[in-house]
Amino acid sequence: MKQKLYAVITGDVAKSSRFAGEEREKLLVVLKKAFSTVEDVLGTDIMAFPFEIFRGDSFQGVIRKPELSLKAVVLIRASIRSSFKTTLKDSIDARLAIGIGTIDFLPVKNSGEGDGEAYRNSGPALDTMSKHSRMIIINTPNKAMNDELNVECAMLDTIISRWTAEQADAIIETLKGKTQEEMAEMFTISQPAVKKRVDSSNFYAFQLMLKRFNNLLAPSQEHISNT
């Protein structure tokens, strides 16, 4: 019988040493808000294990539906970028590693105590990301799939790294299903201005990758297993 696949998302805030005192407290609030946004957009039952913060700026969570893990990661990065109104050069961001695979043991209290293929594909990958200046990486049990996703994640990194806080806000609300008219009222700007934010964020290219990722990991497909 085919074993159920999960996605383990492990992340940390890049260059978090810049935070101290009240700024670090704000960072924790922002992270918790980002995790709440993921549940709001993807559904409250999406988490097999809720996101948990450890070591101050690192976090981990387990997603029941691997095909939604990339959207979760983008929501987290967009939430962080939108919460700190800085220049692009000084923008706050997070590194995130998605590990896809089976889980042998899903803990009750501490996510870090879990074990299985998905965990092994996630945590260790995060440790290597800073050396390669990567912000998103996806590891699955399928090498050919990993090779494709490696290229696509590099391109997605380039897109997200150019999002301003205002563009990130527009991305989040778009993923929540808000119309541009609703966002215009929310942001107190015109609808054409909202459209400009969405279009200049390369949202169309991002949507294509989400669709491709979903097709690769669709539950009905068998080709994710090692060959």
Residue 26 lies in a domain: yes
Q: How many domains does the chain have?
A: 1
Lowest mean pLDDT among 44-53, 78-87, 187-196: 78-87
3-class DSSP assignment, residue 15: coil
Structural domain containing residue 190: 6-216
pLDDT of residue 108: 73
Residue 225 lies in a domain: no
Residue 223 lies in a domain: no
Residue 1 lies in a domain: no
Residue 226 lies in a domain: no
Q: Is the confidence at residue 153, as pLDDT, over 50?
A: yes
Sign of CA dihedral 72, 76, 77, 81: positive
Residue 39 lies in a domain: yes
Q: For residue range 188-216, what is the model confidence (pLDDT) as tens digits?
A: 999 999 999 999 999 999 999 999 999 99
Question: Measured between alpha carbons, how far is 104 from 106 in angstroms, rounded to an integer?
Answer: 7
Residue 178 lies in a domain: yes
Question: pTM of the predicted model, to two decimals?
Answer: 0.90
Which residue in 116, 123, 144, 121 sits closest to 216, CA to CA?
A: 144
Residue 32 lies in a domain: yes
129: domain CATH number is: 3.30.70.270
157-163 mean pLDDT:
92
